[in-house]
Homo-oligomer: A and B are copies of this chain.
Amino acid sequence: MAKYDSTLSDCFTALGDPTRRRILERLARGEASVSELAAPHDMSLPSFMGHLTRLEAAGLITTRKQGRSRLCALAPEAFAPATDWLATQRSLWEGRLDRLDSYVTTLMKDRSS
C-alpha cells in the first residue's frame, strides 16, 4: 500500500460533502439519471454536475450516456478502501486497549502475589 493513497483520500473527501452523500444514498436504491438525481437539490445543474463528476473521479459511481440522458449507478466496491481503513484503525485501537488490559491484569496479579 502506498504511503500517499490518493484513492483513499479522494474517497473520503468525496464523502465529506452532504450533497454527495445524499446522492449516494439515493443511488443505493438504484440507477438514476442526472436530472432525477438533481431534482431534490436546490442548486444549478452545472454545480450539481460538479458533484457527480467528483463522485465519478473518486470511483464511487459509474455513469453512461443513454440517449440524451446520463444514467448514474453506485459502484459499491469502491467503498471498501474507506471501510477497510476504518476497520484497521479500529483494530489498532482495540489491540492497544487489549494490551493495556493485559498489562493491568498482570499488575494486579503481581500485587496479589
Q: List chain A positions with a Cβ less than 8 A from chain B.
A: 3-5, 8-10, 12-13, 15-18, 21-22, 24-25, 28-30, 74, 76, 79, 82-83, 85-86, 89-90, 92-93, 96
A10: chain B residues at CB < 8 Å are 16
Please give, as numbers and ranges, the residues of chain B lying within 8 Å of A28 by CB-CB distance.
Answer: 89, 92-93, 96
Name the residue of chain B whose CB is nearest to the CB of A100.
B30
Considering the chains assembled together, what is the distance between the CA atoms of A17 and B16 in angstroms? 11
Copy number in the complex reads 2
Summarize A's interface: helix, strand, loop or mixed.
Answer: helix
A110 to B83, CA, bound (A): 39
Q: Please tell me which one of the listed residues B24, B79, B82, B92 contacts residue A29 in the complex, with CB atoms under 8 A apart.
A: B92
